[in-house]
Structure 1
Amino acid sequence: MNGLYDEIRIALYRVWNRRWLALAVAWGICLLGWLVVALIPNTYASEAKLFVGQQAMLSTSMIDDRNDQRQQMDQIQQTLLSADNLEKVIRATKLGDNISSDREMATKIVSLRENIEVKSDQPNVFNITVKQSGAGRSDGEAAALARDIAQKIIDIFQEENIAGGAGRTSQALRFLDQQLADRQKELQDAEQKRVAFETQNLGLLPGAGSASQQLLSARAELSQIDSQLASAQSSLAALNGQLAGTPAMLSTPNPSGGGSQISQLQGQLASARARGWTDSHPDVIALKEQIASLRASGAGESGGGSFKTPNPAYSSLQSMQAERAATVSALRARKSALEADVSRLIGKQSAEPGVQAEYERISQDYDVLKQQYDKLLAERENMRLKGEVEEETDLTQFRVVNPPSMSRVPAAPNRPLLLAAVLVLGLAGGAGAAFALSQLRTSFPTAGSLEKASGLPVIGSISEMLTEAQRAARKRKLKLFFGGTGALAGVFLLLMMVEFIQRGTVA
């Protein structure tokens, strides 16, 4: 805590040591700022309050009170701020004195529309606020012009009977018809855009036919094909092994020879192998033992010779091999096609999120336009029913609660606050400039700061000794400084006084 206090004390000392610089900077900032504030033109506002009531002659099932209030507010704003009515206001007031072309009139209409505000804080009560700048005219003229504009707006309000009647209803219906036509065209364009987008990106949109669904289906089928291909290749390999162990030709002995028994046994052995039996099968082992026994006894050597005949088992195995090889080739071709489809779908899937987001945006735009169209259609029907009743009954009550005022106090700018802000800014700027200069030209107001900066022990300090003449000179300078500071405050108070006097002179 003591360290913070010392830092604050040192900072204040550095600013005080360069107080003349601080005072000069403060004067410069304040004079410049006050000049800018003085050049800002005053803006005066005129306010008027109107009561526009309607008898509750329509049932709540036909017209909702809140919607009716909002519609009435919209109609008043649209009518009052229309170009025709604003042109009437301009020509009836001093705003139209120097207008010589349609372009100038259009510019003036836009400017006037921005300075008129119509709002409703309470049911059936409308506040009209008109603002006018004092640029190019005196404050009194600006205040009077704002009042005249507000009065002319009220006159138009009464003349055109915008609170009710056939004219207002007809104008509102025309406006709603135009809005409905515009919304219908936008709705048709949005529908065509959505249909075209769906047609263009048929495989990328959410649903059963999307790229993600197709990719899942292709991968599932590819997994099934891999399983079938492995099974078919295994079966083909086993069949090739059987075919390799089966003789293509059989030796057929003469009927008189004993070798016919061996030939029969060999045929049975080939048939067994064709059925998929292995050498470890009991029947295969028994056939081999019988053949070996006959050959050992010499029965196979007796007889009158033999001749070669095609082995039917070998032919059967060849047919089965061709069939299974064709199955393997077909499965491989299907696998290649599926792998190509998966690669293509992965590429499409990378674009799918963007397509889906764009489709959602297009659908959302269509839904918003559809809601707006339905809402306008309901409002038009509501207005038509209301107008039919208003044509036969007098529903409107109009009264000026508060006539247009002529303000003596400008609505903007808040000059006293700006003058005070400039003074505070000037004082802060002066102190900041003095402190910044002290950082550039370092001095040590205390022995502790010198010891801290140098890192060396300070044995002691010597107080400054002043002569009487030096003390007198310092007192004179101090008086001059306080005089300059007081003069700055005096100029501020003078400007505040002038501001309030000028407000009192606004007639």
Structure 2
Amino acid sequence: MGGIYEELRAALHAVWIRRWIALGVAWALCLLGWLVVSQIPNQYESHARVFVQLRSVLPTGGQNQAEQAKDIDRIRQTLTSSVNLQKVVRGTDIGNSVANDRDMADRVGSLQKAIKITSTQDNLFEISATIANGGASDAANAKLARAVVQKLIDIFVEDNLANNRDGTSQSLQFLDQQLDQRQRQLQEAEAKRADFQAKFLGSLPGTGSLDERMATARSQIAQIDSDLAAAQSSLAAVNGQMVGTTATIAGPGGAPANAGPARARVAAIQGQLAEARGRGWTDNHPDVIALKNQLAIAQAAARNEPLVPGGGAGASQNPLYLSLKSMQADKAAQVAALQQRKSQITGDIATFEAKMNQQPGVASEQGAIERDYQVLKDQYAKLLTDREQVKLQSQVQTQTDAVKFSVIDPPTSPHKPTAPNRPLFLTAVLIAGIGGGIAVAFALGQIQPTYATAGRLGRASGMPVIGSIGEVVTAAQASLRAKRLRLFAGGVGALGAAWMLLVGLEFLQRGMVA
């Protein structure tokens, strides 16, 4: 512990005896450092906060809000583009110092570094600008920072409203042009499609491609064959019943007679049974069973019913025969119609197959025509939908403000520089200057060592020190030393006073800006 104390005393003694050198170095370093600090231009920052409110006007507002949010984000990202920053330069006092394109490029590059746009929340943006123009006064720089932020806010609003409406108008013009073009192409495709169908597909049933129509035609022939077989079977059944049925009914003794209501009912029920069998119903069919029961009851009633004599010669017509005759005509007409339809479709298929054999590329041509037509039709429908949506958005933008801007915090007028922290720098230079002076004095003491105590001298020489003689100071020497000490204290005090003066001037300058 004693050795450390002795070393400390020796170091302080080495610095003290070279105190004038230390003071001179401190003054030199402080003057140089303060000069450098004074050349650093003050930076004034102005900032503002803007709130963007998205209004949902249309029923599909979610999509509109998403598109509007993308537009706002795009404007935020492009707000610091060269074009917009040139507007800022021309709209503020920065433009007064622009003489050529090179000056404009320099000012734009400086603004790109000085402007910051951050999104603190989804719809809240903060715009800040830091101006440090060494050639202008502090008050002018503070005013310029606020003007830059205000100009950015104006561009932020103008770009969103103007660009959206201009973009919508351009979109409508583009969609109208595309719709006209697609309409002409669609009309040409429809005419080509109609010509092809009239040439190849006019006689074939169904819709769609060639394969689909051919399949439909063959399916219809199969159905006609089934219906024709059933109709022929019904006609054969009716013909069989007509063979065993007489055309007239004779009265008693060969005299003409009229059938009573019971016999007429029997004839009607027999006609219904014949019609049911003509349809292919079996004896187990519920309706056939019911008709047989009714027929048995009617026949029992007809046996006891006397014949009513007629007033003329000959026999009366059989109602059952007349009913079967009508059914025969109906079934025959049905069979003839089915045979005619089958012959027509079969002929159409044969004609079409002959055309296919003559022109093998008809199927591929029809497929290409249908694909082109469907593609053009879908494109036209989509363009028409998009045009209506854009038109509706244009009306909304014209009649209402879909996006509303609110300036939460207007651009601030800075009253003090944000950088540099000049009082801190001045203090740091003072401390560095004093430390540098002490360091130089200590280093010189190490280069040209002195021995403040007898023990230090003994250790350095390796020989014992017999004794030491104290310094005897006369009154004149004491007076001279006191005078030099006062001068040294005055130099140190002057250094501190210079620091205080510079700090005071800095605060006074800030007060003048405010």
| TM-score using structure 2 length | 0.52
CA separation in 2, counterparts of 1:74 and 1:2?
71
In the alignment, structure 1 segments of 5+ residues that lack a partner are 172-385
Higher Cα radius of gyration: 2
The answer on 1:454 being equivalent to 2:461 is: yes
Deviations for 1:249-302, whole angstroms, at most 9, x for unmatched residues?
xxxxxxxxxxxxxxxxxxxxxxxxxxxxxxxxxxxxxxxxxxxxxxxxxxxxxx
Contact 1:93–1:149, Cα closer than 8 Å, also in 2: yes
CA separation in 1, counterparts of 2:162 and 2:412?
22
The answer on 1:396 being equivalent to 2:408 is: no
Match of 1:92? 91
- Matches for 1:72-471 after TM superposition, within 5 Å: 74-161=73-160, 165=164, 395-471=402-478
Q: What amino acid maps onto 2:411 in structure 1?
A: P
CA separation in 2, counterparts of 1:415 and 1:169?
52
Contact 1:50–1:400, Cα closer than 8 Å, also in 2: yes
In the superposition, relative to structure 1, how do residues 451 and 501 fare at CA in structure 2: closer, same or farther (>3 Å)? same
Q: How many residues align?
A: 293
Deviation at 1:166, TM superposition (A): 5.4
Contact 1:45–1:129, Cα closer than 8 Å, also in 2: yes
In the superposition, relative to structure 1, how do residues 481 and 68 fare at CA in structure 2: closer, same or farther (>3 Å)? farther
Deviation at 1:104, TM superposition (A): 2.4
Contact 2:56–2:64, Cα closer than 8 Å, also in 1: no
Contact 1:166–1:387, Cα closer than 8 Å, also in 2: no
Deviation at 1:9, TM superposition (A): 2.0
Contact 1:166–1:390, Cα closer than 8 Å, also in 2: no
Deviation at 1:102, TM superposition (A): 2.6
SS at match of 1:49: strand
CA separation in 2, counterparts of 1:450 and 1:389?
101
CA separation in 2, counterparts of 1:451 and 1:388?
104
Deviations for 1:66-102, whole angstroms, at most 9, x for unmatched residues?
x997x56752333311222211111111111132323
Contact 2:47–2:149, Cα closer than 8 Å, also in 1: yes
CA separation in 2, counterparts of 1:475 and 1:416?
34
Contact 2:56–2:62, Cα closer than 8 Å, also in 1: no
Contact 1:76–1:163, Cα closer than 8 Å, also in 2: no
CA separation in 2, counterparts of 1:12 and 1:473?
22
Contact 2:76–2:156, Cα closer than 8 Å, also in 1: no
In the superposition, relative to structure 1, how do residues 49 and 468 fare at CA in structure 2: closer, same or farther (>3 Å)? same
Q: What amino acid maps onto 1:103 in structure 2?
A: R
Deviation at 1:62, TM superposition (A): 7.2
Q: What amino acid maps onto 2:104 in structure 1?
A: M
Match of 2:2? 2
Contact 2:116–2:128, Cα closer than 8 Å, also in 1: yes
Match of 2:21? 21
The answer on 1:493 being equivalent to 2:492 is: no
Q: What amino acid maps onto 1:411 in structure 2?
A: T
In the alignment, structure 2 segments of 5+ residues that lack a partner are 171-388
CA separation in 2, counterparts of 1:21 and 1:169?
78
Q: What amino acid maps onto 1:47 in structure 2?
A: H
SS at match of 2:97: coil
Deviation at 1:472, TM superposition (A): 1.4
CA separation in 1, counterparts of 2:440 and 2:509?
35
* 1:481 maps to which of 476, 481, 488: 488
CA separation in 2, counterparts of 1:63 and 1:97?
42
Deviation at 1:106, TM superposition (A): 2.3
Q: What amino acid maps onto 1:124 in structure 2?
A: N
RMSD: 3.3
SS at match of 2:119: strand
CA separation in 1, counterparts of 2:21 and 2:64?
72
In the superposition, relative to structure 1, how do residues 165 and 52 fare at CA in structure 2: closer, same or farther (>3 Å)? same
Q: What amino acid maps onto 1:4 in structure 2?
A: I
Q: What amino acid maps onto 2:152 in structure 1?
A: I
Deviation at 1:494, TM superposition (A): 0.3
CA separation in 2, counterparts of 1:169 and 1:10?
85
SS at match of 2:120: strand
Match of 1:34? 34
Deviations for 1:447-467, whole angstroms, at most 9, x for unmatched residues?
221122112222222221111
CA separation in 2, counterparts of 1:162 and 1:10?
78
CA separation in 2, counterparts of 1:465 and 1:169?
101
Contact 1:161–1:168, Cα closer than 8 Å, also in 2: no
CA separation in 2, counterparts of 1:387 and 1:137?
50
Q: What amino acid maps onto 1:155 in structure 2?
A: D
Contact 2:415–2:510, Cα closer than 8 Å, also in 1: yes
SS at match of 1:122: coil
Contact 1:49–1:127, Cα closer than 8 Å, also in 2: yes
Runs of 4+ deviating beyond 4 Å: 55-65, 71-74, 162-171, 386-395
Deviation at 1:402, TM superposition (A): 1.0
- Matches for 1:48-87 after TM superposition, within 5 Å: 48-54=48-54, 74-87=73-86
SS at match of 1:52: strand
Deviation at 1:60, TM superposition (A): 12
CA separation in 1, counterparts of 2:162 and 2:494?
59
Deviations for 1:26-76, whole angstroms, at most 9, x for unmatched residues?
0011011111111121121111111113358999997999x997x567523
Residue range with higher mean Cα deviation, 83-92 or 21-30: 83-92
